[in-house]
Structure 1
Amino acid sequence: MERRGGAFSLDGLTALVTGAGRGIGAEIAIALSRNGANVIVLSRSGVELDGVVEQIREEGNVASRIVCDVTDPEAFSADLEQVPQLDILVNNAGTNFPEAFVDVTLDQLDAMLALNVRSMFTVAQACARKMIGNGEKGGAIINMSSQMGHVGAARRSVYCMTKHAVEGLTKAMALELASHRIRVNTIAPTFVETPMTKSFFEKDGFRDWVMDRLPAGRLLPASDVAAAICYLASREASMVTGTSLRIDGGWTAQ
């Protein structure tokens, strides 16, 4: 099947994208397919996944879906066992509850730790075990981080904590898995207007707060995040591991 619209060669590779029902995750899945990958999309909502799978197939590319809650490692591992081949993991599922530090509730804390850190670890662990079976072919794991994994910000204490954890996890994974030819990196975007962040931008003053701190002067298109993912997943990035690709318009350079 001819690959259309992609700059990087992912032909013959199978990619799993978590949190792929909408927003950045859906954009990533579609971009990977356009670069030649067979894509498996995963989220808790089968209805959302159906739309992503349909779009990929309409473009003549290969896609399937898994309906699963990644915070349930046993369920995820059982679903992963049914996947015959895995070369790329985009560990994308995550959440945020912006709140003043002194007002963060235990429920908010636990929810973000469970999804942004614990499931990030357990999903990567299960996929790494599967990729080790690829032998010399190896694999690529891309953990979704954030510019907030490199700096701090008001009302984002827990989110910053979880993304700093992802950055540390990624470096340690990269060292341990290098001998298996499995590369591990993070993507660290600035603000993207997505279904998750849309409500943030509707609050008085938030957009101005972001733009005052964003030297590039514009929000990050989800398509730019997807393009960076495709690069890190590709053979062109065969010596890139243990690093964080910041797509932040200069935010963390200040």
Structure 2
Amino acid sequence: MAAQGLSVRFGSVVAVDSVSFAVARGEMVAIIGPSGAGKSTLLRAINRLVPISGGRLFGEGSDVTRLKGRALHRWRARAAMIFQQFNLSPRLDALTNVLTGRLIDLPFWRSWTGFFPHRDQLDAMLLLDELGLSEKAFVRVERLSGGQQQRVAIARALMQRPAMILADEPTASLDPRNATVVMQTLRAINRTRGMTTLVNLHDVGLARAFADRIIALRAGRIVFDGTPADLSKTLIASLYAGDEAEAEEAAPRLLETA
């Protein structure tokens, strides 16, 4: 996947400002930056959930900026989104929520009746088992912990049979233990499946611990693109300059000696 001068504007507001980068197949990239930096907008632009105002985006051999209709629908399935607030159906059980990831390839009557092929049901159960949730398959997701719900959302994304995962602040609503479990889950999927993964993170420590590469945004522009080892404390401090509370939340231990 590659972006060339990609921009997103909302009226006079430039949310993503002519960014260019490429992500290799199987790479895990963390995108960091202060609130309002354009992280979420960038991921949504890659999935074409928000209009792209300028530049080009290439993926799976296609110019994604020009896709329409069924081709765009397929791209959105191949670039599966995971959201901060899970976006699950709380009154449905975990298994059914995971199965909804297959609706893109099923006839309308199946989505209307909720009748899924046996093969898809088996695949969904295997995914729940892989993510340590097989015993929660028939539990309504509203009864699950935040970390468990996020893993259900990850399983649902995998049911789309994607080439890439776009995770938008998947740990923001979680306590530190569950945040670590979710990141371990994403990293394991990235490694065992060779799944290209882009993940927005507010916690710089998690980005350094789990990503192969870090891209830092500020005011919609890329200000750093490199390995976790190359992300200096000075750069982190400048990235969150002007908001001490956010800096402390994003990287409390990293900034102690910055």
- Asked if these proteins are the same fold (TM beyond 0.5), I'd say no
Which structure is larger by alpha-carbon Rg, 1 or 2? 2
User: Bigger relative contact order, structure 1 or 2, given CA contacts below 8 A and separation 6+?
Assistant: 2
More helix, by proportion: 1
More strand, by proportion: 2
TM-score by length of 1: 0.36
